[in-house]
Structure 1
Amino acid sequence: MRDSSKVLVVENDAKIRDVIGIYLKKEGFNVLQTDNGIEALSIIKKEKPGLIILDIMLPGLSGYEVCKRIKTNEETKNTIIVILSAIGQDSTSIKRYQVEADLYETKPFSPKSFVNNIKKIINKKGNL
């Protein structure tokens, strides 16, 4: 069972990861962080976060691959996933990787707007 208070931020840029963490903590979330896809899968298995923010360009496994593994796993398939990337939103590449993210945000972004968009997804899905 997923823990609705936990959010995992998977971002290889420490500054961006920290900013997202600060804003999410202000909203009352328990924030877990890592900078690579392999460790992300380990944390997901152990901690069972309710929401995962994934950068696309990660060492180890890409955000696309992590997302695919989350969505094809029976225990984690309903986890809310937010894709965060410097790569512009390209529906062709999203389809190519069969990404089933709930939200796609591009860098640079406004942290306040980013968190507001996450809250909208949470309210829409009713998961957290």
Structure 2
Amino acid sequence: MAGSALGISLAPYIRSSPTLTKIFTPIANWYAGGALYRQYGLLYDDLLIEERPEVQKALSRLTPRQAYDRAFRIKRASQADVLHAPLPKEQWTKPEQDIRYLLPHVIDVEAEIKERAHWDTLAVTRRK
């Protein structure tokens, strides 16, 4: 389900193998640290492209608090970017705080779109 618009993921396969998990976890942590979004106080889901209809619908399903927090993080990161300086280290997003708050909603929306497409194109035949 999540593979359609978000890309194919090897994560479930890697997580199922303790050896692969041990190998890829440091690489994943290094990559996430190098992406710099945490230094601006953002979460990974704050980087999803908002112009996609699935993401727009998922954003409308956030609680008011989640929507406010997201807007605050984006405005704070934009201000830091204008100043050409990341936030102070104590304001960086810690890896344990970087949870996927929007992805479950996006997956639900994609499943609903797929189900709607199935029912909209359903061929009805008459019994004899």
Normalised TM-score (structure 1): 0.23
Determine which structure has greater relative contact order: mean sequence separation of CA pairs < 8 Å that are 6+ residues apart, divided by chain length.
2
Q: 1 or 2, which has the higher helix percentage?
A: 2
Normalised TM-score (structure 2): 0.23
Q: 1 or 2, which has the higher strand percentage?
A: 1
Structure with larger Rg = 2
